[in-house]
Structure 1
Amino acid sequence: MTISTAVENAAEALAGEAARQTYENAEEVLRLYRPVMRALATAAGPTTEVVLHNLDGADVDLGHTIMAIENGHVTGRAVGGPSTSLGLDVLKDRRGDHDAFGYTGFTSDGRELRCSSVYFHNSEGDIIASFCINVDLSPLQQARNVLAALLPSSAPAANAPREHFGTDLVAVMDSMISDAIHEIGRPVENMSRDDKITVLERLDQRGATQMRKSVEAIAKRLGISRVTAYSYLEEARARR
């Protein structure tokens, strides 16, 4: 489970709890959930920002809604800081269900965030506070790019060499045979005669048949006799 998935699960659990209760004001929400903010931010790490916004009252100043924040360096905000663009939509419909999980956000410097928001209501049904979790994806994206550069592409060049490793030549040969069988795309017991000739053809092209007792080893893996294996090998060479 990734950090962002775990955070989303935590947010959904929080939403379930929030939906079952009403609160007198935003200060009550802060008192109850301030420890949860610290616990969640500590567990998820420095790339996860946790924010509590005060949306209580008829004249909410969206420029100064942040009551509490953990890991504010993620978005560069602090207590007394602003809401986001979503605050405008929420205040247009204070009794609606605005809870959302795993949506995309962006910082002012272009970093992508994975966000979840939960809203708290008073006894009249009006939204009075929001609990928001924002995960900075840029470290994960950078790590993915590094791994993508290091790992081979899914479609190597046709003329790219194929290298097999083993503790001895027998192990190397067995690895080569396994590779050739895997390329056919079906179990040996389901292979046709032509499939098995193709296995021998590929192994011959890669030099495996030059190894000592290789044809016998190939015959055993393909479930055919040594004589049949040599016959298939001759057919394979005749194709070229």
Structure 2
Amino acid sequence: MTIRTAAEETAEAFAGEASRQTYESAEEVLRLYHPVMRALATAAGPTTEVVLHNLDGADVDLGHTIMAIENGHVTGRSVGGPSTSLGLDVMKDRRADHDAFGYTGFTSDGRELRCSSVYFHNAVGDIIASLCINVDLSPLQQVRNMLTALLPASTTAADGPKEHFGTDLVAVMDSMISDAIHEIGRPVENMSRDDKISVLKRLDQRGATQMRKSVEAIAKRLGISRVTAYSYLDEARAGR
């Protein structure tokens, strides 16, 4: 059984409220919910990060979306810091329901997080801000490891998206590339041509190829040229 934190329950409680309301701007969301952020972080403790992202406008700079943050040491971010990999998905369809609860995230140093995100819309339905709660599970995992002889490990995987955190978009992108490579199940040096095309396809579907200089970074990790990477990307898209 998954133990839900008070912060997660609170996030779900006002998610419905947020979905019924509209807001003029991200600044209005900040004004209304900044006190709530501090209350959540204080109640949940230092392992829980609460962050508000500004996603307002047609040309959002995903490298600098953080308007307010509590317990930023959890992911190493601060005001003015970047969005995560999920920000890319939101920008693809800003009128969809992207609210998600209890999904898995990873910090740039490999710690596992349990995350929940609530999105705020303006009067025309576009997403303009998001409130995210990220719980560092590593202290609990350390305790669980000490008690494995007494308590069986859970085998239930949390449903939902996978999120990648970093102190900048380069770190976010690198984490996404590592995850896609890991999913292939073999080292890069043993990958076939089709394996590498599959890596590019996964990253393209997750929005990573929208990032600046992403294809060059992917090519470097896969040990192929930039030209070859673009060729593989074209094949991946053609095979959809």
Q: Output the TM-score relative to the length of structure 2.
A: 0.61
Q: Is the 8 A contact 1:4 1:114 kept in 2?
A: no
Q: 1:133 to 1:7 in 2, by over 3 A?
A: same
Could you tell me which residue of structure 2 aligns to residue 143 of structure 1? 143
- Residue by residue over 1:205-231, the C-alpha shift from the partner in whole angstroms, topping out at 9 and shown as x without a partner, is xxxxxxxxxxxxxxxxxxxxxxxxxxx
Could you tell me which residue of structure 2 aligns to residue 11 of structure 1? 11
SS at match of 2:5: helix
- Residue by residue over 1:159-201, the C-alpha shift from the partner in whole angstroms, topping out at 9 and shown as x without a partner, is xxxxxxxxxxxxxxxxxxxxxxxxxxxxxxxxxxxxxxxxxxx
Q: Is the 8 A contact 1:119 1:127 kept in 2?
A: yes
Instruction: Write the distance in 2 (CA, Å) between the matches of 1:71 and 1:4.
Output: 19
Shift of 1:97: 0.2
The residue correspondences of 1:154-233 to structure 2 (distance < 5 A) are none
Instruction: Write the distance in 2 (CA, Å) between the matches of 1:58 and 1:40.
Output: 30
- Residue by residue over 1:52-97, the C-alpha shift from the partner in whole angstroms, topping out at 9 and shown as x without a partner, is 0000000100000000000000000000000000000001101000
Shift of 1:146: 1.4
Q: Is the 8 A contact 1:41 1:49 kept in 2?
A: yes
SS at match of 1:148: coil
SS at match of 1:115: strand
SS at match of 2:39: helix
Q: 1:42 to 1:3 in 2, by over 3 A?
A: farther
SS at match of 2:140: helix
Could you tell me which residue of structure 2 aligns to residue 105 of structure 1? 105
Instruction: Write the distance in 2 (CA, Å) between the matches of 1:43 and 1:67.
Output: 21
AA aligned opposite 2:133: I
The residue correspondences of 1:71-86 to structure 2 (distance < 5 A) are 71-86=71-86
Could you tell me which residue of structure 1 aligns to residue 134 of structure 2? 134
Q: Which runs of 5+ in 1 are unaligned?
A: 154-240
Instruction: Write the distance in 2 (CA, Å) between the matches of 1:21 and 1:117.
Output: 16
Q: 1:121 to 1:17 in 2, by over 3 A?
A: same
Shift of 1:3: 6.9
Could you tell me which residue of structure 1 aligns to residue 90 of structure 2? 90
Q: How many residues align?
A: 152
Cα-Cα RMSD: 1.7
Bigger relative contact order (CA 8 A; separation at least 6): 2
Could you tell me which residue of structure 2 aligns to residue 39 of structure 1? 39
Q: Is the 8 A contact 2:8 2:102 kept in 1?
A: yes
Shift of 1:108: 0.4
Q: Is the 8 A contact 2:116 2:133 kept in 1?
A: yes
Q: Which runs of 5+ in 2 are unaligned?
A: 153-240
Could you tell me which residue of structure 1 aligns to residue 193 of structure 2? none
Q: 1:152 to 1:110 in 2, by over 3 A?
A: closer
Q: 1:152 to 1:58 in 2, by over 3 A?
A: closer
Q: Is the 8 A contact 2:30 2:52 kept in 1?
A: yes
Q: Is the 8 A contact 2:5 2:44 kept in 1?
A: no
Q: 1:31 to 1:152 in 2, by over 3 A?
A: closer
Could you tell me which residue of structure 2 aligns to residue 55 of structure 1? 55
AA aligned opposite 1:138: S
Q: Output the TM-score relative to the length of structure 1.
A: 0.61
Runs of 4+ in 1 over 6 A off after TM superposition: none
